């Protein structure tokens, strides 16, 4: 997983939309979509919810309680 893919997945986990992520990182929406699709492939999932869940289960992202 690249740094860019993880950065985008973390923002997705925080509730940002593709458009919001693109704006925040000064990227095009197409670039964000490309990073997400590559990350989904590497994780063996098909959507953002499954990707975030897998990253939490593998301890790449902290669980929700850790944000409170």
- Mean pLDDT, range 39-45, rounded to an integer: 96
**pTM of structure:** 0.84
Domains: count for the chain: 1
pLDDT at 67 over 70: no
Q: 46: which residues sit within 8 A by CB, 6+ positions away? A: 40
Mean of pLDDT values over 36-62 = 91
Structure tokens at 27: 């990227």
First to last CA, the chain: 27
Q: Residue 13: which CATH number?
A: 1.10.10.10
The pLDDT of residue 22: 98
Average pLDDT over residues 25-50: 97
pLDDT band at residue 9, thresholds of 50, 70 and 90? very high
pLDDT of res. 62: 67
For residue 57, the enclosing domain spans: 3-67
């Amino acid at each position: 997983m690249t740094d860019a893919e993880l950065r985008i997945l973390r923002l997705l986990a925080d509730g940002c939309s593709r458009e919001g992520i693109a704006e925040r990182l000064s990227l095009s929406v197409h670039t964000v979509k490309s990073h997400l699709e590559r990350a989904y492939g590497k994780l063996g999932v098909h959507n953002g919810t499954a990707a975030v869940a897998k990253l939490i289960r593998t301890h790449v992202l902290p669980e929700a309680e850790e944000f409170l």
